[in-house]
């Protein structure tokens, strides 16, 4: 979608599907404060802001990205009453737009610590909402949270993922930006590295926590391992079973619709790719405790996790954000320190190795978003309206910017259990 396309969609919000977007919150005082803080903040970052009527401001120069405020009054009301949630909802509604979405978000993400005055950081928990209690990842809560994202439609994910249907960071050959290899090859490189560090080979008993659409399970089975893969997404389970059967390894790879806490048996290897982010910080001890319980002595774990700095994890742990409201309800990204602490306090597992590759995730996300936006018409035909598509474009751009600036990282951990 171009900037013109996006601007033209402003105000076209279905109130039945998007009640919080269609209804504009009003607070003159908060809107005035938001305008003042916003103009002060963007004056310090490489961004140009253009309001309808021709007003220009910001710290950007000629080649820096431009953020167009299509409906500035509405934008500042949303920002003043909702903070970052309001910022995201304003984009979903078309109140602001840009021809360089990742560039705008990167400008903000790269100067995150400079944008909000220290006094407001201290007031964060009194001003912002806390996560709703119903988003807690109990066994039932986790099913509801996962359903809101992963059960949207297999066809939606097919529209922008590569043929491996892998929805996690790839590992490219060499420098990721501008890498020449196909995304499917980079995804296989990631999967194979994880299987290697987990010691997956002929005759090994493997547990996968978080099936996705089955690519890791079938590749592990193709190595001669016996795989049990757990998921609570019905849509993913159905397609993963089809793909495993089509690959001819259904006799060695089984997909079970089961919560990770209900895992049974003993395994030589456990693998889990970007599943911990959906667990919730107050359940990390259950997640790692389960892995420890089912892993045989001397076993190995291949864990891939998105990461944030520990101080960010602690300060945002209970905050209700735009991502948590619209994309990953109940989600919480861990830090290296929080993983280490959970392992030490609740398991016999220890970290033997950590390989970080955040820049590879930025490139993965760039390719996903490019494909997603190119297939706008097809995605609309699946029943996903303009508001949804703007929401997902923002989610993918936000994530890309986070990894490109180092605000986010991703790593593969090798965990071991004493013999």
The 10s digit of each residue's pLDDT in 256-283 is 999 999 999 999 999 999 999 999 999 9
pLDDT for the residue numbered 197: 98
pLDDT for the residue numbered 137: 76
Q: Where do we find the tokens 């003043």?
A: 80
For residue 220, the enclosing domain spans 135-416
Which of 101, 128, 155 marks a domain boundary? 128
pLDDT > 80? residue 408: yes
Rounded average pLDDT over 197-225: 98
Q: What are 383-407's pLDDT values in tens digits?
A: 999 999 999 999 999 999 999 999 9
Q: Decide the pairing of beta strands 66-69 and 226-231.
A: unpaired
Q: What are 47-58's pLDDT values in tens digits?
A: 999 998 889 999
pLDDT for the residue numbered 129: 63
Residues 139 and 16 in one domain: no
* Number of helical (H) and strand (E) elements in the chain, helices listed first: 21, 11
Residues 289 and 375 in one domain: yes
pLDDT > 60? residue 11: no
Residues 324 and 391 in one domain: yes
Instruction: Label residue 119 by pLDDT band (50, 70, 90).
Output: very low
Residues 99 and 237 in one domain: no
* 8 A C-beta contact, residue 356 and residue 411: yes
Instruction: Label residue 130 by pLDDT band (50, 70, 90).
Output: low
Instruction: Count the residues in the chain.
Output: 419
* 8 A C-beta contact, residue 164 and residue 184: yes
Question: CA 302, CA 274: separation in Å to the nearest integer?
Answer: 11
Q: What percent of the chain has pLDDT over 90?
A: 81
pLDDT > 60? residue 172: yes
Q: What are 65-75's pLDDT values in tens digits?
A: 999 999 999 99
Least confident of 50-54, 298-302, 363-367, 376-380: 50-54
Residues 276 and 409 in one domain: yes
Residues 177 and 306 in one domain: yes
Which of 98, 128, 158 marks a domain boundary? 128
Helix (H) or strand (E) holding 369: helix 358-374
Phi, psi of 414 (to 5 degrees): -100, 115
pLDDT > 70? residue 344: yes
Residues 210 and 330 in one domain: yes
Mean pLDDT of the chain: 91
As beta bridge partners, residue 228 has 207, 254
Residues 118 and 164 in one domain: no
Q: What are 227-240's pLDDT values in tens digits?
A: 999 999 999 999 99
Please give the tally of structural domains in the chain. Answer: 2
Rounded average pLDDT over 70-93: 95
Residues 155 and 178 in one domain: yes
Q: What percent of the chain has pLDDT over 70?
A: 91
Residues 150 and 104 in one domain: no
Question: CA 71, CA 75: separation in Å to the nearest integer?
Answer: 6
Rounded average pLDDT over 295-307: 98
Question: CA 370, CA 183: separation in Å to the nearest integer?
Answer: 13
CATH code of the domain covering residue 194 = 3.40.50.150
pLDDT for the residue numbered 174: 92
The pTM for the full model equals 0.92
């Amino acid at each position: 979608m171009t900037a013109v396309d996006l601007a033209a969609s402003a105000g076209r919000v279905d109130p039945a599907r998007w009640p919080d977007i269609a209804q504009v919150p009003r607070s003159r005082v908060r809107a005035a404060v938001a305008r003042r803080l916003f103009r002060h903040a963007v004056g310090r970052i490489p961004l140009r802001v253009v309001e309808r009527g021709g007003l220009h401001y910001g710290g950007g120069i000629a080649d820096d990205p431009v953020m167009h405020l299509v409906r500035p009054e509405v934008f500042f009301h949303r920002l003043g009453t909702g903070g970052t949630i309001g910022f995201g909802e304003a984009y979903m509604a078309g109140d602001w737009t840009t021809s360089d979405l990742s560039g705008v978000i990167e400008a903000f993400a790269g100067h995150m610590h400079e944008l909000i005055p220290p006094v407001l950081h201290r007031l964060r928990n009194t001003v912002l909402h806390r996560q709703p209690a119903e988003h807690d990842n109990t066994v039932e809560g986790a099913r509801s949270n996962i359903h809101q994202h992963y059960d949207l439609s297999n066809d939606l994910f097919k529209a922008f993922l590569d043929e491996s249907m892998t929805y996690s960071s790839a590992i490219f050959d060499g420098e990721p930006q501008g890498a020449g290899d196909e995304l499917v090859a980079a995804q296989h490189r990631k999967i194979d590295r994880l299987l290697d560090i987990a010691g997956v080979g002929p005759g090994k008993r493997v547990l996968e926590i978080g099936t996705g659409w089955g690519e890791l399970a079938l590749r592990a089975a193709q190595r001669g391992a016996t795989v049990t893969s757990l998921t609570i997404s019905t849509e993913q389970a159905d397609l993963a079973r089809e793909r495993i059967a089509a690959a001819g390894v259904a006799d060695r790879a089984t997909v079970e619709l089961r919560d990770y806490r209900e895992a049974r048996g003993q395994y030589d290897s456990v693998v889990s790719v970007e599943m911990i982010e959906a667990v919730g910080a107050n359940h990390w001890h259950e997640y790692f405790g389960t892995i420890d319980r089912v892993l045989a002595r001397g076993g190995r774990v291949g864990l891939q996790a998105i990461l944030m700095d520990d101080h960010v994890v602690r300060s945002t742990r209970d905050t209700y954000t735009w991502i948590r409201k619209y994309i990953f309800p109940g989600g919480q990204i861990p830090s290296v320190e929080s993983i280490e602490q959970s392992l030490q306090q609740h398991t016999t597992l220890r970290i033997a190795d950590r390989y970080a590759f955040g820049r590879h995730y930025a490139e993965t996300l760039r390719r996903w978003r490019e494909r997603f936006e190119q297939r706008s018409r097809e995605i609309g035909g699946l029943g996903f309206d303009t508001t949804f598509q703007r929401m997902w474009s923002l989610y993918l751009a936000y994530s890309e910017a986070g990894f490109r600036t180092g605000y986010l990282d991703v790593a593969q951990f090798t965990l071991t259990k004493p013999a």
